[in-house]
Amino acid sequence: MKFSVKYIFAMVATTMFMVACAPDKGNEPDAPDSPNTPTNPEQPQDPQEPSNPQEPETPGSSDNDLLIPSQEGSAAVNDGYTLVWEDLFDEGYLDESVWNVEVNGNGGGNNELQYYRRENITFEAEPTTNRQCLVLTARKENYSGKNATSGRLNTKGKVAYQYGKIEALIKLPSTYKGLWPAFWMMGNDFDQVGWPACGELDILEMGNAGGLSSPNKAAAYLNGACHWGPSWDKHYCYGPSTTLNTSLQDGEFHLITVTWDEQYIRCYANYGTATQEKYYEIDVTKVDFSDNTVAGNYFKKPFFIIFNLAVGGNFPGIWDINQISALNADNNYEAKMYIDYVKVYQKK
């Protein structure tokens, strides 16, 4: 199956605190009847200043406080969640009753350089740990008018949840310079209301231009983000960037987690371990349907899951394939994003 994509959404750069909030890491998943929309509209500033709620309690951890969890994920963490869905990617093939493969070369609405191909989504054993993984491979190669290829997939219309703890165990490639891996979600009503009215929750993005002062900076510089609004020309975003104390590009797997309820969305690296760090929080308590700028209006419905590995574009600020130094002779001009599993937990 191939999925043609006809969606372009507005590019945005909204700065709040240390915000590095890109317009989006890709245009929305395939929506055959969605209208084409112009790019680069003038966008209003985010009207919602984040609140300063109390720091949440660190989840209680199990006796096995390892950086790399087993395939049980954070299930052993005593935080009140119960596993409701997972894909361990151990069968060696893509379950297309769950996943949609995106095939397109439209640049994701962000002037990205890759063509997304089915062939760039594979199942492999990660060489160091032998973990069986879903793998997205970015390559420097000419294909259908583009200078790179990569992979992107989503669960739209197949797997979507409202609230919970959503996590993935990921081994990230070096993003310095020019790669843009992402683990994110969008409202499952995308086909009905479009973007950004569907809401967008970026659990993890790396590769932003703000982290390109050095390879070490890039390896710990990340952001979460939320995008919302009634239409492409009324798009709001809150997405501060953070430099972690721990590298996420050290050749190891790291657990990336979002906890989401009717009050807060919070993103964590290495959730439930000794190296846990929270890097994103937004208050979505308020709902006021008479005011379409209120973030809480857009994050109280089921969202679906997306993984992709973009090459270049507005987020890293690189639009020339020859400046993408992350794809080089030493790695045979390709880089891999390994995903060991993705899991959804909810409170009963």
Which of these, 169, 128, 164, lies nearest to 273 by C-alpha position? 169
Residues in the chain: 348
Which of these, 131, 126, 121, 188, lies nearest to 151 by C-alpha position? 121
216 in helix, strand or coil? helix
20 in helix, strand or coil? coil
Cβ–Cβ under 8 Å, residues 183 and 170: yes
Out of 102, 167, 205, 334, which one is annotated catalytic?
Answer: 205
Strand (E) or helix (H) holding 217: helix 215-220
Give residues with Cβ within 8 angstroms of 84, minimum separation 6: 161, 164, 344, 345, 346
Which of these, 210, 110, 107, lies nearest to 150 by C-alpha position? 107
Q: Look up residue 43 and give its amino acid.
A: Q
Distance CA 214, CA 69 (A): 29
Q: Look up residue 54 and give its amino acid.
A: Q
Angstrom distances, CA of residue 188 to CA of 6, 156, 230: 17, 6, 15
What would the two tokens of residue 152 be?
A: 């992107």
Greatest Cα-to-Cα distance within the chain, rounded to the nearest angstrom: 55
209 in helix, strand or coil? helix
Distance CA 257, CA 70 (A): 15
A 10 A CB-CB count for 45 gives 11
Out of 28, 102, 112, 200, which one is annotated catalytic?
Answer: 200
Strand partners, 237: 227
| Residue matched to tokens 């798009």 | 235
* Residue 205 annotated among the catalytic residues of the structure: yes
Residues with catalytic roles: 200, 205
